[in-house]
Chains A and B, each alone.
Chain A
Amino acid sequence: MDMEFKKLCSIIVDVLGVDESDIDMDTTFIDDLGADSLDVAQIIMGIEEEFDVTVDSDVASNVTTVGQALELIKNAIGE
């Protein structure tokens, strides 16, 4: 498990109070984890703070899965 994924999981667990074992790359925030749009916004803000990056609002609004969020992080930090 890479460091970015681990940090992302920690943000998701903190915001949604879900079990880390329920999270994988295909997990959807809304359908699988019971999040709503405000939760997703909170996760995006958590990503911005944790990785010291700025996520464009349009890009953020298209994120539906954990895998997409991880890709967004990797693009933002230039990996």
Chain B
Amino acid sequence: MPPLPAAGSERIEMSRKYVRVAVDAMGGDLAPAEPVKAAVEALEKKKSLHVTLVGQEEVIRAELAKYKYPEDRLEILDAREIIEMSEPPVNAIRKKKDSSIVRGLKLVKEGTCDAFVTAGSTGATLAGGQLLVGRIRGIERPPLAPLMPTAKGPVLLVDCGANMDARPSQLVQFAQMGSIYMKNMTGVENPRVALVNVGAEEEKGNALVKEVYPLLKECEGINFIGNIEARDIPAGEADVVVCDAFVGNVILKLYEGLASTLIHKIKDALMSTLRSKLGALMIKPALKGMLKEFDITSYGGAPMLGLRGLVVKTHGNSEAVEIRNAIEQCILFKKKDINGQFIEKMGLEQPKKADEKETASSEKDASGNTAASEN
């Protein structure tokens, strides 16, 4: 039998000792090989990490047999079902309760794990993140926020997949969360926040962005620099780019598609004649260095911001390196207490925990008794 995730006092002890990340071993085109490899590599690199691999146990064990790994920091949670990419997300989450995505998300919901990383169905992950893990109270909608490479370092695109028809107040929260995330995760001081629009002027755009612009201008705690046109994003003119998921997804896909096409075209051109091949040989080191700067696998995955835990989605065709970086991203997210910062800096009122209520009530009783005895 595989060891099961810890409960009770053992869980609290593990929580203090490790950052606990659940990894979907069945999610993505290259599962289970790449997620399992990623987990083993991450455990080797990070001693404060504990991983729960979620998926079909015998399949995971067969993959694990290829590696040496610290057995005390790796568990398997058997989950028999797999959510396919083509399945309607909400139905899949409701019906496939024994799937790796549902079981993994529930580990976060129960507090057994701090984060869940998956390369599986984006729709099911987004729906499940909200339905199973749940939002931090006060967060209207959790956006999906990937880092993208630019000429001046990474830019955070919020939202690129979760909220197709966002409201103005939601975009303001995206800006706030994006700003906090960017500062803590990449070290950018006072991140420049921009609103995606079809022009730089305040009066331009559709109804949504026209309504959001003044709200962002008035929003405290963010460095709003105004509108940004899509062409200025790759140049690195902002650190956090805010938009609804429809616009964000178009930007992301165009970005990825254009980059891939350009690289292929450059390669074709370099290999077309003897002269160009010689030239390619000369520029190869410089080209490699430049391409490394644009390597998205080093950024890990896209987090869903504003959940009561962390859910990270990596590309469907993720190799181990991207998933490993996503796992490491979870460690930093917890250490920086990003969710705590959302609550504090965005002024989100949280319900009192049971023990806090008890303390408050006993304090009230104590003061009541004192008053009574004085009377």
Q: A residues touching B (Cβ–Cβ < 8 Å)? A: 17, 37-38, 41-42, 44-45, 57
Q: How many A-B residue pairs have CB under 8 A?
A: 21
The complex places the Cα of A41 from the Cα of B132 at a distance, in Å, of 11
The complex places the Cα of A45 from the Cα of B90 at a distance, in Å, of 10
In the bound complex, residues from chain A placing their C-beta under 8 Å from that of B94 are: 41, 44-45, 57
- Interface 1/0 per residue, B51-92 and A, CB below 8 Å: 000000000000000000000000000000000000000110
In the bound complex, residues from chain A placing their C-beta under 8 Å from that of B138 are: 17
Within 8 A of A (CB), among B125-142: 127, 130-132, 134, 137-138
Q: B residues touching A (Cβ–Cβ < 8 Å)? A: 90-91, 94-95, 127, 130-132, 134, 137-138
The complex places the Cα of A17 from the Cα of B94 at a distance, in Å, of 22
15 further A-B contacts with Cβ under 8 Å, apart from A17-B138, A38-B90, are A17-B137, A38-B127, A38-B130, A38-B131, A41-B90, A41-B127, A41-B131, A42-B131, A42-B134, A44-B94, A45-B94, A45-B132, A57-B91, A57-B94, A57-B95
Which 9 pairs across A and B sit closest by C-beta, in order of nearness? A41-B90, A42-B131, A45-B131, A57-B91, A38-B130, A41-B131, A38-B127, A45-B94, A57-B94
Give the distance to chain B from A53, nearest Cβ to Cβ, in Å. 13
The complex places the Cα of A29 from the Cα of B90 at a distance, in Å, of 18
Give the distance to chain B from A64, nearest Cβ to Cβ, in Å. 16
Q: List 12 A-B contacts (CB under 8 A).
A: A17-B138, A38-B127, A38-B130, A38-B131, A41-B94, A41-B131, A42-B131, A44-B94, A45-B94, A45-B131, A57-B94, A57-B95
A42 and B91 contacting across the interface, CB-CB below 8 Å: no
A42 and B130 contacting across the interface, CB-CB below 8 Å: yes
In the bound complex, residues from chain B placing their C-beta under 8 Å from that of A44 are: 94
In the bound complex, residues from chain B placing their C-beta under 8 Å from that of A57 are: 91, 94-95
In the bound complex, residues from chain A placing their C-beta under 8 Å from that of B132 are: 45
In the bound complex, residues from chain A placing their C-beta under 8 Å from that of B134 are: 42
The complex places the Cα of A42 from the Cα of B135 at a distance, in Å, of 11
In the bound complex, residues from chain B placing their C-beta under 8 Å from that of A37 are: 90
Query: Smallest CB-CB separation from A38: which chain B residue?
Result: B130
In the bound complex, residues from chain B placing their C-beta under 8 Å from that of A17 are: 137-138
In the bound complex, residues from chain A placing their C-beta under 8 Å from that of B127 are: 38, 41
Give the distance to chain A from B311, nearest Cβ to Cβ, in Å. 15
Query: Smallest CB-CB separation from B167: which chain A residue?
Result: A34
In the bound complex, residues from chain B placing their C-beta under 8 Å from that of A45 are: 94, 131-132
The complex places the Cα of A17 from the Cα of B95 at a distance, in Å, of 26
The complex places the Cα of A17 from the Cα of B351 at a distance, in Å, of 11
The complex places the Cα of A38 from the Cα of B127 at a distance, in Å, of 7
The complex places the Cα of A38 from the Cα of B90 at a distance, in Å, of 8
The CB with the most chain A CB atoms within 10 A, among B131, B132, B137, B138, is that of B131
Query: Smallest CB-CB separation from A36: which chain B residue?
Result: B165
In the bound complex, residues from chain A placing their C-beta under 8 Å from that of B131 are: 38, 41-42, 45
Give the distance to chain B from A34, nearest Cβ to Cβ, in Å. 9
The complex places the Cα of A45 from the Cα of B91 at a distance, in Å, of 11
The complex places the Cα of A38 from the Cα of B94 at a distance, in Å, of 12
The complex places the Cα of A57 from the Cα of B143 at a distance, in Å, of 26
In the bound complex, residues from chain A placing their C-beta under 8 Å from that of B90 are: 37-38, 41
In the bound complex, residues from chain A placing their C-beta under 8 Å from that of B91 are: 57
